[in-house]
A and B are shown apart, each in its own frame.
Chain A
Amino acid sequence: MKASYLQAAPLALILGVFLLLPMLVLLVVSFFDYDSVQIIPGFVLTNYQEVLGSAVTWRTYLNTLRFTVIVWAITLAVGFWVSFYLAFVVRSQVTQLVLFLVCTIPFLTSNIIRMISWVPFLGREGLLNTALLRLGLIRAPLEFLLFSDFAVVLAYVHLYTLFMVTPIFNTMMRIDRRLIEAAIDNGARSWQIIAHVVVPLCKPGIAIGSIFVVTLVMGDFITVRLLSGGQSASIGLMISNQISLLQYPAACANAVVLLAVVLLMIAAILRIVDIRRDL
C-alpha cells in the first residue's frame, strides 16, 4: 500500500509544480493590473471586463468555434472510415499493425515542418495549381489555397486526424465479432451493421477523439499564424499576441476564459457519451 504512494509521488510532484501551480498563477495574474512596462499586483476585474466586453473577442471565439466544428466533422468522418478499414477490412493482424504504425509515425515527427510542407504544395506556383493548370481545369492559379482558412483547416485535418483514428480504432477492435455475425445472420445489410452495431459501440472512442480534436483546435495558435497569412484569428493567437505585447494580465484573463470554455465543451461531450468503461 505504501509503495503505491512512493511510486505515484514523482508524477504528482511534477504535475503539481508544472501544471497545477502554473494554472493557479494564471488565475491570480488575471486579476492583476498592468501598464505599458510592468505588471502591478492587485485585484481588478478590468481584464475580464475587457475580454468579455470586446466585440473582437466574441468574433474571435466565433471564428475559433467555426474552425473547431469544421475540423471536428472532417476528422470524425475521415478517422471513422480509416479506423473502420483497419479494424474490419484488413484481415491479417500483422498488416493491421503495420498500417496502424504507418498512420501513427507522422505524429512523432515535427508538427511545424508538417505545416510548412503545405506551402510548396498549395502556393500560387505550387504543385496543385501547376497540375490543375496543365490539365486545363483552371485558367489562373487558385488564390484561396494557401494563406487562407482553407489552408488552416487542411493543416488541422492533416495534424489531428490521428487523434480520432487511435481511440476509434481501439474501441472497434474491442467489438465482439459475434455481434456482427449475428447481425448478418439476421439479414442486416452492411450499412445497417455499421449504423446499428458498429457506430453505437464506437461512441466512447468517438467521444475521446472528439475531446482531443476540440481541445487541440480551440487552443491552437501556430497553425493559424503560419497558414492563414494573417487573414484569420484564433483565441490562441490572440493570447499569444497579448503575450508578445507583454500584456500578461490580459493574456491570463483570456486564458482563464478559454480554459473555462474548453472544459465546458468537454463536459458537454461527456454528458452525451459515457466514456468511463473505456478508460
Chain B
Amino acid sequence: MTFGIIGRVILTAFFCLFVLFLYGPTLTIVVLSFQGPDGGLTFPMNGVSLQWFTRLFETQAVGDFGGALTRSLLLALIVMVVTVVISLAAGLAFRRRFIGSSALFMLTVASLIIPSILVSLGIGLLFNLTGLDPAWYSSALGAQLTWTLPFGLLIMFAVFNRFNRAWEEAARDLGSSPWQRFRHVVLPIIAPSVVGIALFGFTLSYDEFARTLLTAGSDNTLPLEIFGMTTNVTTPVLYALGTVTTGLSFVVIGIALVTMAALARRRADRSG
C-alpha cells in the first residue's frame, strides 16, 4: 500500500516513540537499582553498586522477600497448570454448541470485565461469611483464575477459529479413538498456543495485585509485598526489587517464546 513516504516516516517515528514510552520508565528503574550506597531514589547516580540487591535478602529491608517470592512462584505455577488444563478442555467443548454454552461464554467475558476490586471484595466476604480462612492457595488461587481463565479461553477461540478439521476427519476415517485424535492430531497442532496460555497464566498470576489484595489471607504474595513497600521504603531497594521481578518475568517470557518457536518449527519440518 502507498500512504506516501512522509506518512510512513511519521508513523514509524510515532511507533518508535511509543516503544520508548513503554520501556523507558522501566529502564530508568533498572539503571537506578545499581545506585551507589549513598544514592537516592532519583538521578544522579552516586556511584555504582550491587548493595540494593544484597539488601533485598535482609529481612529488615523488605518484609519477607524470600517467603513472598516463593509463594508467588508456587501460586503462578499452580495457576498456570490449572489455566492450561481448564481452558484447553473448555476450548474443546466450545467447538460444538451445547446447552448453556452462550451463558458460560458471557460469564467468562464478565469475569474479565468486572472490576478486580469487586471480585476481590466478593471472594473475601464469601470466605468471611462461610467461616473459611482466606489463603493464597485457596481464595487467592480462585480470584486469580477469574482473571487468567478468560484470557486462556479467548486464546483457544482464536486457535480453533483457524483450525482445519480435515486433519481430525482423516484420523477418524483411519479408525482413531477421540483420545488418539486429541493426543496425536489436535494437540501437536495447537501446542504453540497452549504454551502461550501457560505464559499468560504464569505471568498474569505472578504479577496479579487487585484480585489478590483481599483474598491472600495473612501471607503476602510478592506484588502485595511490593505495594506495601511503596508507602514506607524510601531507598533504591524498591527499584532492585522491581528489577528482579521484571527480570524474572522476562526470563519466563523468553523461555515461552523460544518453546513456541521450536514447536512451530518442528511442526513445519514434519509437514514440509
Contacts and interface: CB of A to CB of B under 8 A. Distances in A.
B26 A23 contact: no
Interface stretch (A42-50, A51-59, A114-122, A199-207): A114-122
Chain B contact surface mostly: helix
Contact of B149 (A1, A15, A108, A220): A15
Interface string B107-118: 110110111111
Given A15-B107, A81-B11, A112 B113 contact: no
Nearest to B158: A170
Contacts of B107: 12, 15, 19-20
Contacts of B214: 243
B118 A23 contact: yes
Interface stretch (B49-57, B165-173, B187-195, B199-207): B199-207
A215 B111 CA distance: 12
Interface string B59-80: 0000000000000000000000
Interface in B109-142: 110-111, 113-119, 121-123, 125-126, 129, 142
**Residues of B in contact with A, size category:** 35 or more
Contact of B118 (A15, A212, A259, A279): A259
Given A106-B22, A113-B29, A8 B93 contact: yes
A250 B85 CA distance: 38
Contact of A108 (B115, B227, B253): B253
Interface of B: 1-4, 7-8, 11-12, 14-15, 18-19, 21-26, 28-29, 32, 41-43, 85-87, 89-90, 92-94, 96, 98, 100-101, 104, 107-108, 110-111, 113-119, 121-123, 125-126, 129, 142-143, 145-146, 149, 153, 157, 178, 199-200, 203-204, 207, 209-210, 214, 223, 226-227, 230, 238-239, 242, 245-246, 249-250, 253, 257
Interface of A: 1, 3-8, 10-12, 14-15, 17-23, 25-26, 29, 78, 81-82, 84-86, 88-89, 99, 101-103, 105-106, 108-114, 116-121, 123, 125-127, 130, 158, 161, 177, 180-181, 184, 190, 193, 211-212, 215, 218-222, 226, 236, 239-240, 243, 248, 251-252, 255, 258-259, 262, 266, 279
